[in-house]
């Protein structure tokens, strides 16, 4: 039986941490400036918040301009 514990709010689950590590390794292979890398990470965080809070606010789905 697997032990599924809820991660604390600041921590990622082991599966998500593995995905993040793989993504960071993948991105390290590309010639991205620090600014491009940070913009990509911020975009991913925004998308994650939208997915986690889906349906909470009708304005979540509006694109930022």
Look at residue 34 and tell me if it is in a domain: yes
Q: How far apart are the first and last CA of the chain?
A: 48
Domain range enclosing 32: 14-52
pLDDT value at position 7?
A: 47
Look at residue 40 and tell me if it is in a domain: yes
pLDDT value at position 1?
A: 39
Number of domains the chain contains: 1
Q: Which residue has the higher pLDDT, 50 or 3?
A: 50
Look at residue 18 and tell me if it is in a domain: yes
Q: How far is CA 13 from the centre of its chain?
A: 12
pLDDT digits (tens, 9 = 90+) for 16-64: 888 888 888 877 777 778 888 888 888 888 887 666 655 556 665 566 6
Comparing CA positions, the residue from 26, 55, 57, 63 lying closest to residue 41 is: 26
Look at residue 3 and tell me if it is in a domain: no
Q: Which residue has the higher pLDDT, 6 or 33?
A: 33
């Amino acid at each position: 039986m697997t032990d599924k514990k809820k991660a604390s709010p600041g921590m990622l689950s082991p599966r998500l941490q593995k995905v993040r590590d793989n993504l960071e390794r993948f991105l390290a292979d590309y010639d991205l400036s620090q600014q491009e890398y940070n913009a990509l990470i911020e975009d991913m965080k925004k998308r994650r918040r939208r997915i986690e809070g889906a349906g909470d606010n009708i304005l979540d789905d509006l694109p930022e301009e």
